Chain A
Amino acid sequence: MVLGLSIILAGFVISVLSLGFATDVWARLAIVLAGIAVSLFGIIGILNPAYLKDAIWKK
């Protein structure tokens, strides 16, 4: 769970960093999209499966 939340938050941090470390609009666009992808992976690929391990319907 902590790993999942950290990855989701990391995606947001990547997007914010694009403001400081890139000036070209397309470079910023690419970095922000990467940040969104990281966050979505954190939710769909890490956090939710961690909760599904103990899902009520598996018991």
Chain B
Amino acid sequence: MKTRKLIVWFCFAALITLSGQTPAPPAAAAPPPAPVPITDADVKNVEAPKAEARAKGDPDGALTGTVSDIAVADSKKGLTIGDLVSQVGQNKIAINFVWTLVAGFLVMFMQAGFAVVETGLCRAKNANHTMMMNFMVYGTGMLAYWLIGFTLQMGGVGAVGNLGGSPVLNAEFTVTLFGKTFGLFGQNGYVLMHNGAYDVAVMVIFLFQMVFMDTALTIVTGSAAERWKFSAFLASSFVLGAFIYPIFANWAWGGGWLANLGANFGLGKGYVDFAGSGVVHAVGGLSAMAMAIIIGPRIGKFDRTGKPFAMPGHDVTLVITGCFILAFGWFGFNPGSTLGASGNGNLRIGSIAVNTMLAGMAGAFTAMFYMWIRYGKPDASMSGNGLLAGLVAITAPCGFVNPISAVIIGALAGVIVCLSVEFVERVMKLDDPVGAISVHGTNGLFGVICVGLFADGKSNYGGSWNGVPGSVTGLFYGDSGQLVAQLVGVSTLIGFVFVFSFVLYLIVDAIFKHRSKPEDELAGLDIPEMGALAYPEFELKTSGLHATPSGD
């Protein structure tokens, strides 16, 4: 018993002593070993898998992707350090090529999402026509962009480091204003053959930018649905893909004057639009508004006093399925806009993807609750539009904000889209069957402004943005100049892009006439314009008039 007490006291005393001890000063750090240069001889000593081992197959993958897979420049010399370095560079660019291409494929699939959302929100008698517009906008836009648009947008962008620094797109048309250079449009790259544009990196850039442009084009088909003559639609889509979209995209992404507001005028990092809230969605939404004003509302949308009537779509399952397809495609839209996954801070793609999904979720929630509180039911199509609004709004800031800001931006966008739909319909008396103006136009502008407010200065894409060193930082984190740059972009979208598209659409109207004949519109455009019904085995109501006042 005495011995046990002694042991306890000894342990207790030892504990006290040890806990009170100050740590011994660290031993003087040993000098780092001198770097040993790697020589070609070292590389030659790396053992390749034996042929007999390879002949038995490689079920665990240990023998695949080894030194024997590195390309050798000179077989007489064998593997050298130069071969290794070239392989590392090739691997980086290959990762970035594959990343950007796969992201572009996802964005291309968004066309299917737009097609079913718009068709579901239209009446059954126009389903074939609406589907066909969404289908052919892909080809028409691509043709216009390949012939003209790509050059105007990217022909002066210069080297894109993530894709190999290809320098062939290096001719920007500029003017001098206030003693500074203002880039207006690119000049290299027509039909992907002009002035060295037949280049692997240029092809990747073209594919990715082309599918973005097509997204903007398909927005307009929503606002003019159910009364747009197909010939006028084709011509309008061509001018949007060839001129309207590429000009603003050059100013923002192609090395144009908006991108250089930071370098030239000290406004933050210049106009910043990570994945296109402004370039894609606001351009599409404002063009959609111009078209809605010119073409006028559908017959039966408003009564003689201007009171709007609801014209419900024919298939809410299509609408919600389309929203899911779009949300899926947005994972190409936003994270893909890094144009790479390796190097230059591109590992932020995880943060960008999470911001994207959070904002979409928040938008769907707030739109659903807004409709539920205001009208008594959680409206499905407006919940879908809320999801899209959140995604549109986060598209510009997704690369520069934290997850909390992403949720705030998405939540605000979900309410904004509901308010905007009501304003467009009840105050402006515009007929926008799918809410394209509000989802893409209003929230596109909101997203652009959000960069100037919420960017937290934590991103680092190679140490600079638009040629200005440092990280993009908004007003809430200390840079008021960034907000001004964003607002100059907003003003350009409203004041220039809207007018430009309005004038070009008026020219198209003078040649083709946008509006279909009243009797065709009342019958539904499927037979008069397309020659076939989307649902030939169903009996369709052909009246354009509905008895349900909008919002009641």
Q: Is the CB of B495 within 8 A of A56?
A: no
Chain A contact-residue range equals 20 to 34
Q: Is the CB of A36 within 8 A of B306?
A: no
- Which stretch, B69-77, B289-297, B396-404, touches the partner chain A? B289-297
Whether A58 contacts B495 in the complex (CB less than 8 A), given A19-B178, A25-B484, comes out as no
Mark contacts of B280-305 with chain A using CB atoms, 8 A cut-off: 1 yes-contact digit, 0 otherwise: 00000000010001101101011110
Q: Is B198 positioned at the interface, with any CB of A under 8 Å from its CB?
A: no
Min distance, Cβ A22 to any Cβ of chain B, angstroms: 10
Q: How far is the CA of A21 from the CA of B303 in the complex (A)?
A: 49
The A-B contact count (CB < 8 A) is 98
Q: Is A13 positioned at the interface, with any CB of B under 8 Å from its CB?
A: yes
Q: How far is the CA of A28 from the CA of B264 in the complex (A)?
A: 14
Q: How far is the CA of A57 from the CA of B429 in the complex (A)?
A: 10
A contact residues around B496 at 8 Å (CB): 9, 12
Q: Is the CB of A36 within 8 A of B494?
A: yes
A contact residues around B516 at 8 Å (CB): none
- Which residue of A is nearest B503, CB measured? A5
Min distance, Cβ B492 to any Cβ of chain A, angstroms: 6
Interface residues of A in 5-44 (CB under 8 A from B): 5, 8-16, 18-20, 25-26, 28-29, 32-33, 35-36, 38-40, 43-44
Q: Is B428 positioned at the interface, with any CB of A under 8 Å from its CB?
A: yes
Interface residues of B in 493-518 (CB under 8 A from A): 494-496, 498-499, 502-503
Q: How far is the CA of A44 from the CA of B490 in the complex (A)?
A: 16
Q: Is the CB of B502 within 8 A of A15?
A: no
B interface residues, tally (CB under 8 Å):
37
Residue in A15, A19, A25, A57 whose beta carbon sits within 8 Å of that of B303 in the complex: A57
Whether A44 contacts B428 in the complex (CB less than 8 A), given A11-B494, A12-B494, comes out as yes
Q: Is the CB of B428 within 8 A of A19?
A: no
- Secondary structure at chain B's binding surface: helix, strand, loop or mixed? helix
Q: Is the CB of A56 within 8 A of B296?
A: yes
Whether A40 contacts B494 in the complex (CB less than 8 A), given A28-B484, A48-B430, comes out as yes
Residue in B294, B304, B306, B484 whose beta carbon sits within 8 Å of that of A51 in the complex: B294
Q: Is B487 positioned at the interface, with any CB of A under 8 Å from its CB?
A: yes
Residue in B261, B293, B306, B483 whose beta carbon sits within 8 Å of that of A57 in the complex: B306
Interface residues of B in 21-47 (CB under 8 A from A): none
Interface residues of B in 170-190 (CB under 8 A from A): 177-178
Q: Is the CB of B495 within 8 A of A32?
A: no
Q: How far is the CA of A20 from the CA of B496 in the complex (A)?
A: 18
Q: How far is the CA of A26 from the CA of B484 in the complex (A)?
A: 8
Q: How far is the CA of A47 from the CA of B267 in the complex (A)?
A: 32
Q: Is the CB of B499 within 8 A of A5?
A: yes
Residue in A36, A40, A44, A51 whose beta carbon sits within 8 Å of that of B296 in the complex: A51
A contact residues around B427 at 8 Å (CB): 44
